[in-house]
Chains A and B, each alone.
Chain A
Amino acid sequence: MLGIFIAHLVFALLMVGMLLSVIAYLILLERKTAAWMQDRLGPNRVGPKGLLQPLADGVKFILKEEFVPANADRILFLLAPIVIITPALCGFAVIPWGGVLGAGAHLPGWLGGWTFPKNFSVMVANPRIGVLFVIAMASLSVYGVVLAGWASGSKYSFLGGLRATAQMISYEIPLVLSLLSVAVVAGTLRLGAITDSQASYFSTVFFLPAWNIFIQPAAFLLFVTCIFAEANRAPFDLVECEQELVGGYHTEYSSMKFALFFLAEYAAMITGAAVAVALFLGGWHLPWIDQLIYPGAPGQPLVTGWGGVILKFVVFWAKVMLFIFFYMWVRWTLPRFRFDQLMNLAWRTLIPLSLGTFLLAALFVYLRREGAIEHRGWLLLGNVALLAGTVAMNQLWPGESTNRRLPVFNSRYQSAAGVLRPN
């Protein structure tokens, strides 16, 4: 028992280390992606092709001057980066990174050759309410933003923090509902179990993997939209839109404290991507050749030896990386939302859609239990109908135009004639 506990703890430490180094390189990847999409070269001075850039950045962050504005609330100003990084580094704990390592597997000799006395889930912890844990950590991450915005004593930070908070709480409800839509069909709140339930095929005719993205595309779309907003990523990054708010809630931050905000954003991205992979994209499941490459014990196909676990781990991370590339792709493709558009999207479209998705999933489970329908294709059909209905509603609904002219006084954008000046 204690041995397994220590194994999990070691795994947790390894994952924190891996997460932090992956984040360092994600920042480089983001800059390279941006450069690539804008037909530039990107960072290429430190090391071959700029590969040592994260190292240089890290050293720079540590050695740069720490700075607290005179107007700031000193304690809260120092507390905010700690408060934002802590839940961000905890959220990944319930992600099933690589299936289950069977009992009897042992460490290589140079690591002591210790034998696992029982099955080892390749995750930090596997509580019964894993999905809720993710939600709780997401809801705690609001505090760092609020505190940073409030404690800086700067108007940019304050407005950024205010916007961020409103945005994060608005997108939390559809986020929770989309997670629950998946959980109600899977019948569990454990992320590992939900992942395992996707390791099959849609039907005997179509060899489409039964990933939740193919069963509940509406829930997937909702989830993706919401994690973009929760991580304050483009096109929902008006929290820190540089044209209006300089840096948003972290305008006044420098050195490692600024780096912690950056780390937290990327950690939230990775966690979001990992939850998306685990819940919607099949987790470690590699379709069509899974039976070949994950040799599990008969009757226990999900429990594998070292080879299977490592393969699953690699497959999972490959999917996560693709998803993160998708984040970056979106960032350099879509223009930023306006604040009213952002709030309208959350409250007028996503929340009713997510409630509909949840009720649809519940109806499907009910009908399946009653024996009326059996095939998961019905749920797919319902989801597609729901999405089509939402799009149609948005087209047909008599929406009021939110675009109206505001007089812009004392600005170089002020039209030349016919507009009153104040006084």
Chain B
Amino acid sequence: MLPSTVVSVPAVLAVGSMYQQWALLGLLFLIALAFGVGNVVMSHMLGPARHGQVKESTYESGVDPRGGTKERFNVRFYLVAMIFVVFDVEVLFLIPWLSAFNHAGHPGLKLGQSGQLGPPGPGALFVSVLIFAGILLLAYGYAWAKGVFKWD
């Protein structure tokens, strides 16, 4: 399926619909970006701008601001982010499984570096994902037992 000849401009659209889909998504991204930038620039240009010391001070419900934002915050927020990374990676590992499971047993599904092995059946894939989910549950249970999810 590799194209044998050099594709003419706009080449990125011509390799099939895949590039086309992503070119559209990329263009939409640019449109959205332009919308955001345009609005910020426009309000910068059109709106009035009057400066003042009190006006530009931080809003703290009317009183003079005390201290800065360099307050240390609870380490729990960091822990939530860490645990989120772990769970996110594990959950995203499920997506290729989902796709493989859908085609399980299909002869087109080749295994190994050179595709020398036959396709796995749904049973093998299911057991494999059960073990993977079991490990995920283990991590979850550990975090629960350690009181990570205890917010108070």
Contacts and interface: CB of A to CB of B under 8 A. Distances in A.
So, do A and B actually touch in the complex, CB under 8 Å? yes
B2 to A, nearest CB: 19
A165 B57 CA distance: 25
A260 interface: yes
B49 A257 contact: no
Greatest chain A CB density within 10 A among B10, B49, B122 is at B122
B91 A173 contact: yes
B69 A65 contact: no
Contacts of A184: 98, 101-102
A153 B151 contact: no
A347 B86 CA distance: 13
Nearest to A338: B151
Interface string B58-71: 11110001011101
Contacts of A234: none
Given A8-B24, A344-B151, A255 B32 contact: no
B40 A5 contact: no
A39 interface: no
A63 B45 CA distance: 9
B42 to A, nearest CB: 6
Contacts of B18: 127-128
A5 B95 contact: no
B25 A125 contact: yes
Given A260-B36, A344-B149, A344-B151, A93 B25 contact: yes
Given A61-B43, A125-B28, A348 B144 contact: yes
A362 interface: yes
Contacts of A246: 59, 61
B126 interface: yes
B59 A251 contact: yes
Contacts of A85: 32, 35-36, 39
A289 interface: no
A133 B140 contact: no
Contacts of B123: 366, 370
Interface string A124-160: 1111110011000000000000000010111111100
Interface residues of A, number: 90
A347 B149 contact: yes
Greatest chain B CB density within 10 A among A157, A343, A400 is at A343
A324 B122 CA distance: 40
A82 interface: yes
Interface in B67-123: 67-69, 71, 73, 77, 80-81, 84, 87-88, 91-92, 94-95, 98-99, 101-102, 104-105, 122-123
A180 B39 contact: no
Interface stretch (A217-225, A350-358, A377-385): A350-358
B31 interface: yes
Contacts of A292: none
A302 to B, nearest CB: 18
Nearest to B74: A162
B142 interface: no
Contact of B40 (A169, A260, A359): A260
A269 B66 CA distance: 36
B146 interface: no
Nearest to A4: B20
Contacts of A9: 24, 27
A405 interface: no
A310 interface: no
Interface of B: 10, 13-14, 17-18, 20-25, 27-29, 31-33, 35-37, 39-40, 42-44, 46-50, 53, 55-61, 65, 67-69, 71, 73, 77, 80-81, 84, 87-88, 91-92, 94-95, 98-99, 101-102, 104-105, 122-123, 126, 129-130, 133, 136-137, 140, 144, 148-152
Given A251-B59, A260-B39, 19 more contacts: A5-B13, A16-B35, A63-B46, A66-B43, A70-B56, A82-B37, A87-B32, A93-B24, A124-B28, A127-B25, A170-B84, A173-B84, A176-B91, A184-B102, A256-B42, A355-B137, A362-B129, A366-B126, A369-B105
17 contacts: A16-B31, A62-B46, A64-B47, A82-B37, A90-B28, A125-B22, A126-B21, A133-B25, A154-B60, A155-B69, A162-B73, A170-B80, A180-B98, A259-B39, A366-B101, A366-B123, A404-B152
**Pairs of residues from A and B, 7 with the lowest C-beta to C-beta distance, nearest first:** A256-B43, A82-B36, A89-B32, A340-B151, A70-B56, A125-B24, A347-B149
